[in-house]
Amino acid sequence: MKVFHLNNPASGNGNGSRLFHKINKEFEYNSIDHEAVQTKHAGHGTDIIKNLNFNDYDVLAVSGGDGSLFEAINGYYANKSSKRIPVGVIPVGRGNAFARDLDFHPQMWNDAIHNIYFNRTKKVDVAVCKSNGEQFHFINILGLGFVTDVAKTAFNLRAFGHLSYILGVLHRTIFLKPFSLKIEIDGNVLERENVFVEISNSRYTGKDFLMAPSALIDDGYLDVVLLNKLSRTRLLQCLPKIFNGEHVKMKEVECFKAKKIKIETEPQKLLTPDGQLIGTTPIEIECLNKSLEVIAREEVNPEE
């Protein structure tokens, strides 16, 4: 077996860099032949994987967070190699939401490598999004509205470190302004005054937000969560409920499962696919059922 290891040194506030050599040592400990490359700037991961010859490798391992995986997946689908190889997720980022649905957690990054050795795989869904003539894939979640506005504000306030997200939430709550949403879900058209839309392949977003409790990464559907117009007080009541998925019980929240989705908004809204600020409405999204092979957890036979 030969593994191509893509590492994002900036992931997890530098955690990727700190663990880079330990990860490579773990490959050696598991007798896995590997080649390791670190990304140097935003978008570099996509370029590296896009131009990689998959015929020379058996597994693509990605050590980083959800953003690192987003870049790798987009490079993967742009790659022209005749061979397809499974993707192994090594969670060393801040969120690791998709890895969580594979039952790999940040403190268990070496366990993820152990499972690469066994090369047990499963096929999972991936979403493809078309936005104003551009196309990209996402594997975890795409948001727009309040969630994206908060992310943008937090990015602009990143000098405040961990406080940037809290400041972003407070700022956007004070200046809360619902927008007009037209969403088509498998042919059914809905019009709403909306606060945010989240389209999920996996259950979690970020580190701890259980945005789509019923989502499955291999069921052929994306879970759509709409938070419709509400007061600032109700919004502040809603946000902590997302930690345990209780927000879906609120009257302002609607949930759907969909294979194809079209969205128009007024005004135009920014997107956050897998936490990245990329694209704007209008958009068309489709679930690609079991389109990607990934390394899965080795299941131990209880009779052994």
Domain segments of the chain as ranges: 2-119, 134-289
CATH topology of domain 2-119: Rossmann fold (3.40.50)
The pLDDT tens digits for 170-223 are 999 999 999 999 999 999 999 999 999 999 999 998 778 999 999 999 999 999
259 vs 29: CA distance, rounded Å:
42
This prediction's pTM? 0.92
Q: Say if residues 65 and 96 touch (Cβ distance below 8 Å).
A: yes
CATH of domain 134-289: 2.60.200.40
Cβ neighbours around 115 below 10 Å, total: 22
- The crossing angle, in degrees rounded to 10, of helices 163-174 and 232-241 is 150
With cut-offs at 50, 70 and 90, classify the pLDDT of residue 304: very low
Cis peptide bond prior to 9, omega within 30° of 0: no
The pLDDT value given to residue 300: 45
**Range in 82-91, 102-111, 177-186 with the lowest mean pLDDT:** 102-111
